[in-house]
Structure 1
Amino acid sequence: MTRSRPMGTSAATPFRRRLLFRLAISLLVGLPFTVLGETEFEYQRPEVAPETSSGSEEKPGWATRKFAVAAANPLAADAGYQILEAGGSAIDAAIAVQMVLTLVEPQSSGIGGGAFLMYHDGEEVMAYDGRESAPAAVDETLFLDGEGEPLAFAEAVASGRSVGVPGTLRMLEMAHKAHGKLPWAELFEPAITLADEGFVVSPRLHQSIADTDALRDDDRAAEFYYTAEGEPLPPGHRLKNPALAVTLDKIAAEKSTALHTGRVAEDIVARVQHHPDIPGTLSLEDLATYSALEREPMCTDWRDYRICGFPPPSSGHLTMMQVLGIMEQLPALEVDLNDGLPGVEWLHRFLEASRLAFADRGRYIADPDFVEAPGQDWSLMLVPDYLEERAELIEAGQSMGSGGASPGNPGSLATAWAVQPTQPEHGTSHISIIDAHGNALAMTGSIEQAFGARILSDGGTGMPGGFLLNNQLTDFSFAPTDEEGTPIANRVEPGKRPRSSMSPTLVFDRESGELVASLGSSGGAAIIHHTARSLVAMLEWGLNAQQALDLPHAITLGGPVYLEAGRFPAAIQQALRERGHEIQERELTSGLQAIQRTEEGWFGGADPRREGVVMGD
């Protein structure tokens, strides 16, 4: 979506109107009033919010010359586009995009959750960790009932216990301090304007509300996201969010301190600790003492490329590169795409490599501040000799089957961890950005399940709306040990960050060091498969970003094989069954975004299963 001006714009929101708005809300709710000074950036609100269906929609792919931003909602992408057009950096644009996503895609990510961010400043690659952390008062029995048995997953999700200390704002503030070009406050103008004036509810948001019955159990959410008759807000409804506008305005003035202390923090804590069914222990001190971290990125050579991703507590890069590395150790295979399908043998190898990689993931990967890497070095999981050893377990004509893959031993262990049982993982939203200054960004943020813990905070404003709190603590293992009493690496501990599957990825040419692509996805644990398969399609099969994202999904977490419903012919399904795979069809609604280098500039793709777009000049 290359364009010089946002589609159908109204007059720019003047500084004077914003000044009056800030004065009015400060008088109304007693928030401090600060004159920030007139800004050069003036957000132009799209007159009509673009809509897409809640199902699959064909996307054209977008070619740009100077810069590009890919996000899961057109209003969010537009906000990033305007920031880049005003001379902002990729970090600046990402902040504007994420704030708008908090408003228009509240079911997926937001300021009540966490994120991982990969950044390239033209010379170095950096990794910023804004993952949620467990409150100080929890212990490993957090998700056990009175009899010591794990809670039902849905019961744990919609509760105060599931809420981790949010980290997105602290992480973005850290990254902006290092790489921002525009003033922090300017980056909130798009989201504040849209929250104040309203945006059009998309079919996807409507469907997400309709599919999330537990959202009705939260009094504030029930009042905000449903009509007076109790029906989900219909597509086309103009939704204003005054509580979020006030909260974002406060954050624009005071940065992350506005969320982690004071009135906003007090409301978050009250909502968690006074949950009507299962309260949590999140405290004001937990919020005030949270710190974002800069970690050492993991960069792995694969074929002619250097793939850079996030280290633990993300399992994304390690598991993804194990899958690709194991497959690389197998005999060469000529892949001839047929209607977008790579063939049964490639699918078989991909699924078997996934089983092996997920077996290692389930035993070893957790927060590195609490768990020692195998052999004290995570990269030992990607050593070619070890991957070759794992690849030898794959048979051409026979699957290991559900539960048939066991963890390997990539290095001597000081502690033997138990394998974590498989648990559901959901949610997230991905952003990829290339700016005109040569900086690149891949950021994946999440509140986990749709609408997170189903707890809406109004930031202490007493106004309608607000932001959703995450349920990321359900990414920990509910059971702290296995049946023999051996501890699970990803068990709950105070201050610990739960293991994630988020896989923000930057790709470079190994020889020249030139940036090749930025990509990532949503989709819980399946993020790993979606991103890995897209890398293969773009870098090995020669597809462009949009073609790669259009391909059908096939995944396994170690048990059954899930094929994207309606995308695989009966002959392929039968051939996989004959190899011993248990096949199930289901909707696999990924949220891939990708931008790749071309001779003319950049080419971006957005997942046809979501309402995202790419914009740029």
Structure 2
Amino acid sequence: MTQLPVIALSASLRFAALLCACWLLPASAQTPHQPEAASGFVARPAVDAPTAMVVSANPHATAAALAILRAGGSASDAAIAAVLVLNVVEPQSSGIGGGAFLLHYRADEGSLQAWDGRESAPAAVDETLFLKEDGERMGFHDAAVGGRAVGAPGLLRLLAAVHAEHGRLPWAQLLQPAIDLAEGGFAVSPRLHALIARDRFLYTDPAARALFYDAAGEALAVGSRFTNPALAAVLRAVAEEGAEVFYHGALAADIVAAVARAPNPGTLSLRDLADWRPLKREALCAPYRQWTVCGMPPPSSGGGTVLAMLGILQGFPLPEVATDSAFATHLFAEAGRLAFADRDAWYADPRAMPLTPQQLLGRDYLAGRAAQIDLRRSMTRAEAGTPADSLSHVAAQHPERAATTHISIVDAAGNAVALTASIEDAFGSRRMVHGFLLNNQLTDFSFQPQDAHGHHPNRAGPGKRPRSSMAPTLVFAADGSLHAVLGSPGGSAIINYVAATLIGVLDWQLPPDLVLARPHAGSRNGPTEVEDTAAGHDLARRLQMFGHDVVLRDLTSGLALIVRSGQGGWTGAADPRREGVAAGY
């Protein structure tokens, strides 16, 4: 695994940071590792297990994955079963009409693979994809709804490739839980009902209208039975004939036709589907104190930006700073500003990036970025940096939308999978084919192909994979053993969710369930975003002492966290903001 040098700021800076923390905080906040103030979320009790652990976004998915593990399946087998069940019960978030990123750790070899299942742009796409006739950019939903933003889906071929290398149980067995659930049905949850009810566009698709709404045109009621026989039929065909049935023949033709005849049509072709392939990439790893943290490389910006934040913070004595202090949040938000400025400027499909992530994670470069943090006052907005051996393009920020899910799994052999899957916006393109929704991932490209600095690295183009923020993450101890598995949905906020969780687990050694219940706060190089809870309101007032422009908002993460326990087993915790569940044996 690639390792980068540890950043060490001067001892005087470390002392100044600690002095500032103690001086500016109330007496009640000066003791490190003190219990957290109530966040407004009740922590779901963590689950301890000696052998194996699953944390997913839904109880049905966790149960399916755990059953696969008990049957002798591998972590990858369990992940396949879980993510396909999530297609059934969380259709708004992920599914076979979208893509995923997956980290796989093989314990007996100590090897790590990064699998890229990101959607790709059709061959007929060019950089003007989201420009109107007058050259102005389209509005987000003007671009997202319909066929224009649909990329070639990657999830099924990714799962098949991972199964071919790491699967133990038969492929068809892994699809059966999703088939059974799609046929037999499940009770509509409050969250699914609320998402259907508030969506402005889903009803416009006839197939989606028939599936998600009752005869009166109302969103399916909480507790009503939801079945999806069309999806069950597709999954049965995939179980019997393999993933290729999705990319060729009648099903592929129906996908292409749905994109072409949709309002706001797209250009996805049969060749685009046939040509799409998952890619094995080298995981992006860097040291953080005594740990090694590994994440996804581009086209995801998640791994690199999380590592940049950690690298910037590494020189500050966070383990000695109060966990709920405004000073700790100040440092975290400033590191986020700096890392997100670089993310927005440089990250894209790796073929289009003018530099490598390693240049943005170099010791001297991140030390220089960290030196820009004022210990007493927010910089408000950071400018992108320019590594000495890079080109000079700096790109504009492009917002991302959240409809994503995450699964963390460790099996009995110590193998692990961190899988983040998505169809991009909630309910994707709002175009449904045979019971599954198609993605709108192409809206993760920059809508403006050029700016004052030149061509945007993340501009649309034929066959390109748009930038993502998905950040499946693995952490290794100094002896090389696996220590933690985590990830989250949440659009570009995923990066802050994952980085903050790592600090809570590694620096403050907080119990996993308490880490996930803490109020979120951070910056994506705009205002400092603080979760709209009682604890968040208190934190926002204290952050104003540091000159932060604070915005209170819902920050609905869906973290799935597994940490090695002191007894040698595993502790799993699910985010209290969503429907996730941890279970093990």
Regarding TM over 0.5, the answer is: yes
Q: CA deviation at 1:329?
A: 2.5
Q: What are the residue-to-residue correspondences of 1:148-547 with 2, within 5 Å?
A: 148-276=135-263, 278-330=264-316, 334-337=320-323, 342-373=324-355, 377-401=356-380, 404-413=381-390, 415-458=391-434, 466-483=435-452, 486-510=454-478, 512-547=479-514
| Deviation beyond 6 Å, 4+ runs, structure 1 | none
Q: Contact 2:100 / 2:154 at 8 angstroms: preserved in 1?
A: yes
**Is the CA contact 1:427–1:523 (under 8 Å) kept in the aligned structure 2?**
yes
User: Aligned residues, how many?
Assistant: 543
CA distance in 2, matches of 1:567, 1:265: 50
Contact 1:418 1:481 in 2 (8 A): no
Task: State the 1:583 CA deviation.
Answer: 1.1
Letter in 2 for 1:267: D
Alpha-carbon displacement from aligned partner over 1:55-103 (angstroms, at most 9, x marks no partner): 9554111111111111000001110011000000001001100110000
- Structure 1 position 421, deviation (Å): 2.7
- Matched to 2:428, the amino acid is G
Aligned partners of 1:258, 1:517: CA distance in 2, in Å? 36
State how far apart, in whole Å, the 1-side matches of 2:274 and 2:372 are. Answer: 49
Tell me, in whole angstroms, the C-alpha distance in 1 between the residues paired with 2:210 and 2:359. Answer: 51
Task: Compute the displacement of 1:424 (Å).
Answer: 3.3
Structure 2 counterpart of 1:60: 45
Distance in 2, matches of 1:482 and 1:264, equals: 40
Equivalence for 1:110: 95
Structure 1 residues 152 and 433: CA distance shift in structure 2, 3 A: same
Question: In 1, distance between residues paired with 2:72 and 2:496?
Answer: 35
Indicate how the Cα distance of structure 1 residues 307 and 328 shifts in structure 2: closer, same or farther if over 3 A, else same.
same
Residue type matched to 1:115 in 2? A
Q: TM-score, normalised by structure 1?
A: 0.86
Instruction: Give the counterpart letter for 2:276 in structure 1.
Output: Y
How far 1:197 moved relative to its partner? 1.2
Aligned counterparts of 2:581 and 2:497: Cα–Cα separation in 1: 18
- How many angstroms apart in 1 are the aligned matches of 2:537 and 2:554? 17
Q: How far is 1:258 from its partner?
A: 1.2
Q: 1:224 to 1:56 in 2, by over 3 A?
A: farther
Deviations 1:537-583 (A, max 9, x none): 01110112211111110122111111111143555323322322211
| Displacement of 1:370 | 2.6
Q: Which amino acid aligns with 1:89?
A: S
Alignment check: 8 A CA contact 1:573 1:583 kept: yes
TM-score, structure 2 length as denominator? 0.91
- Distance across 2 between alignment mates of 1:532 and 1:115: 20
> Quick one: percent identity of the two aligned structures?
49
SS of the equivalent of 2:76 reads helix
| Number of the residue aligned with 1:86 | 71
Report 1 or 2 for greater relative contact order, CA contacts < 8 Å, sequence distance ≥ 6: 2
Deviation of the 1:244 alpha carbon: 0.3
Structure 2: gaps of 5 or more residues: 1-39
Rounded to whole Å, the distance in 1 between the matches of 2:41 and 2:333 is 24
Change (3 A) 1:593 1:570: closer
Q: CA deviation at 1:331?
A: 5.9
Hey, what's the Cα distance between the residues in 2 that align with 1:551 and 1:522?
A: 17
Q: Which amino acid aligns with 1:74?
A: P
**What per-residue deviation string (whole Å, max 9, x for no partner) do you get for residues 281-316 of structure 1?**
001110011010000111111111111111111111
Distance 1:544 1:447 in 2: 32
2-structure distance, mates of 1:543, 1:181: 35
Amino acid at match of 2:480: G
Change (3 A) 1:73 1:569: closer
Distance 1:240 1:331, change over 3 A: closer
CA distance in 1, matches of 2:212, 2:537: 41
Equivalent position SS for 2:102 = strand
Deviation per CA, 1:12-53, whole angstroms, max 9, x where unpaired? xxxxxxxxxxxxxxxxxxxxxxxxxxxxxxxxxxxxxxxxxx
Contact in 2 for aligned 1:552/1:567 (Cα 8 Å): no
Q: Distance in 1 between matches of 2:433 and 2:273?
A: 14
2:187–2:223 contact (8 Å) kept in structure 1 = yes
What CA deviation, in whole Å up to 9, does each residue of 1:403-438 have, x standing for no partner?
x3111112423x432312332331210000000122
Deviates more, 1:424-433 or 1:440-449: 424-433
Looking at structure 2, the residues matched to 532 and 145 of structure 1 have their Cα atoms a distance apart, in angstroms, of 37
Code of the aligned partner of 2:410: I
Q: Which amino acid in 2 is paired with 1:488?
A: H
Mapped contact 2:530–2:536 kept (Cα < 8 A): no
- Report the CA distance between 1:530 and its aligned residue: 0.3
* Alpha-carbon distance change, 309 to 508 in structure 1, aligned in 2, over 3 angstroms: same
> Displacement, 1:275?
0.7
Q: Given the alignment, which residue of 596, 605, 611 partners 2:563?
A: 596
Deviations 1:250-279 (A, max 9, x none): 111122211111121111111111112x10
Match of 1:45 in 2: none
